[in-house]
Amino acid sequence: MNPDHPRERVSRAFAAEYGSEPAALVRAPGRVNLIGEHTDYNDGFVLPMALDRAAWIALTPRTDGIVRLHALDLEQRGVFDVATATRRDARGDPHAEHGGWLEYPRGVAWALQESGGHVLRGFDGVLASDVPRGAGLSSSAAVELAVAAAFQVSSAFAWDVADVARRMQRAENRWVGVASGIMDQLIGAAGVAHHAVLIDCRDLSTRPVPLPPECAIVVLDTATRRGLVGSAYNERRAQCEAAARALGVSALRDADGAALEAARPGLDELVYRRARHVISENRRVLEAVQALEDGDSARFGGLMDASHESLRLDFEVSSEALDAIVASARAAPGCLGARMTGAGFGGCAVALVERASLPEFLTAAAAAYRSASGREGELLVATAAAGAGRATS
């Protein structure tokens, strides 16, 4: 194992911090969404895969409710009592060392306990991650799920994938303050090695979809970042809700293109275009699953291209850097399709690439993006990984 891998780093740091070996290691992956952007909070369909980049926690359970956590990447330490994780204001918790990053584990403790949830015991832990922050690869959801997995070890509650995902979404929505959908948390909990996962964001059903062995998934990091809470994400969600109300449906999942066109004269043009993206994107996800199951990688790549154009023009969440790296990927050898991934406004794109051309693709795409943007993008050949839980040796 690479000594710089977060698994090794948290194990070493735990021994140094607490004077003993950890009792357990847990991990929770980041994710890359292959297609289906801004459909999750519209009760639609998404096709992500869990990444082999993950958040890791080395821990030893405690018999009380105290959580002591060293965030290794930030070189910060936090302490709180799960019994007082009932509000974001940490006053009244004699154990709390209040800080911005600590709101994530405190929010997890709140979400796991609320509404007749689990009885939690604390733990001593060290946290590290190699999921890039702010890149649209769900670094925050990975941390949340890793903390949830640590609580599962310390508290021995049943790990129900859908329930944990819903609770982590509530932590993100109601504690952190981001109106995210369920995709990030659910793929992080339900990932399947070597597969993408089709998620129905209404009933939370999942179906593994095998990835083509002759192709590679390449994540293309623009080296630009966006702040999700301060971005236009929440505004886009509100526009989608306005479109659903105008169309007389509970969510845009229930609308089709014909209904949207019929209602267009009475819709604000911006709301119309937001809805057109969501409705067409839901259709593209289902077509993409069929293409993969038919072994039609070229068709899948074409749907990725169409998704990016819809996100760029109708949903307006791309950026100059994202457009540049997508264009650089598409022009490189072996690329079958590329699109931005994540909420947008910066971060990463994803490409489907023929493995036979992978070395040439990586060299050409990186050079083209450098020339177009003046930035050094990072290209990661990704492997689909399993979901969150206790790590095995």
- The token pair at 40 is 């999750």
Question: Taking the mean position of all CA atoms in its chain, how far away is CA 281?
Answer: 18
Q: How many residues comprise the chain?
A: 393
Q: Which of 171, 155, 178, 195 is nearest to 31 (CA)?
A: 195
The label of the residue with tokens 């009592």 reads 81
Q: Which of 111, 107, 128, 106 is nearest to 58 (CA)?
A: 128
Q: Which of 232, 230, 216, 217 is nearest to 319 (CA)?
A: 232
Q: Backbone phi, then psi, for 197, in 5-degree steps?
A: -130, 120
Q: What share of the chain is helix, strand, coil (3-state, %, to 5)?
A: 45, 20, 35
Say if CB 333 and CB 322 are below 8 A apart. Answer: no
Say if CB 358 and CB 329 are below 8 A apart. Answer: no
Q: Backbone phi, then psi, for 118, in 5-degree steps?
A: -90, 150
Say if CB 352 and CB 307 are below 8 A apart. Answer: no
Q: Which residues are catalytic?
A: 184
Count Cβ atoms within 10 A of the Cβ of residue 92 and give its class: 0-12 exposed, 13-18 middle, 19 or more buried.
exposed
- The token pair at 93 is 């918790």
Q: Which residues contact 133 (CB under 8 A, 6 or more apart)?
A: 139, 225
